[in-house]
Structure 1
Amino acid sequence: MTRLLIVDDQVLIRAGLAALATAAPGFEVVGQAATGEEAVALAAATCPDVILMDIRLPGISGITALERILADASDESRPKVVMLTVFDLDEYVYDALRAGASGFLLKDTPPERLLAAVALIAEGEMLFAPAVTRRLVETFAHQPETKREQPASLTGLTERETEVLRLVGQGLTNEQLARRLMVTTATVKTHLNRVMSKLGLQSRAQAVVAAYESGLITPGQAGPEPSHP
């Protein structure tokens, strides 16, 4: 059972998402919040598996709420956070990825795809709408070098771990990684967990950012986007 917290300042959107998840097997809505402050409090109180959160909220932003939620949670209870946006070219996409968002979905995503996406996120994958992925690449490509934060050193990674990070940065899922490297998905998860531990990363999306910022991938070199439900 995937426990969901839904955060949006529009009551109709909150109610619609809650009704959709409640009617679907395998999901439990543990709370609804209208502001970032409420989201932080409810996340601590309910320990959801996945949070669907509007990137633009009154009061503290969705990004600030995301940072607080992840900082307050233990490794065992840290939720996956999916940011919801109306705009496929939202200016805050890159900042949210850096803060630890596990993915992005547009608010007009069809219901069946949204539920499939939540299930995918709960399993530890990441998910971006195609236009949002393009926004990530374009944002990094046009960001002056002097404004980019210094990336974590990759010198502590093994050759295989570096390859896993590069492929994750290209958007491959664990299953696609396993086929590419001719190993099991369990082995892929082990390598990725080691990469994230060594680099101090909290989400797969942060690993994508690290792959770009370290120079493993440059805009225009990423592979084809994986197909998602």
Structure 2
Amino acid sequence: MRGITYKNVWKRLLDIMGSFSLLVILSPLLLAAMALVRLKLGSPIFFTQERLGLNGQSFRIWKFRSMTNCVDEAGEFLPDEYRLTRFGKLLRDWSVDELPQLWNVLIGDMSLIGPRPFIAEYGSRYTTEQMRRHEVRPGISGWAQVMGRNSIGWNQKFILDVWYVDHCSLMTDIKILLRTIPIVLGRAGVTAENHATMPKWVEHEAPLEDRPAE
């Protein structure tokens, strides 16, 4: 009962207070990042995309743009490695591009801690077990983030996300928050191996069955 109360009541209140406080404290950094993105990459300053959130409902995520809008002859975006600039890589390395998601947390789309929100088109491919990751709000950081971030495979991310749903508590969130800080400062796991960012999820890597140990 205590865990349910935290997940459904106290967690949201902490998200509101935390995101509002961070938006105020980090406002100089946010303004500086906005100016630099406009100078280095032009408009738009923000990148938005439909992602799946609580109960599988879609929402629009906000990030600082880190790539150019270069397209090929067919009008399709070039691969990430051709569009990711040195400045954009710097934003990603230090997770500055993720800071606008504090607004998503404040308005209730996201939580400070939870499974990372995947793009909406993946929703139709989920197994019933994988869909359980949407029993909580998605987060800016999460259990999968501190256990490897983009250096781990897709199926492992699903396993870790469902583990978080089953173990969501104040102590778990504090543990994840404390682990997030050195990972961000150490710029660990920002990209997948041999990729500029993270490869798209094409198909299930393996059945989602085992639970990771704490």
Same fold flag (TM > 0.5): no
Scaled by the length of structure 1, the TM-score of the pair is: 0.30
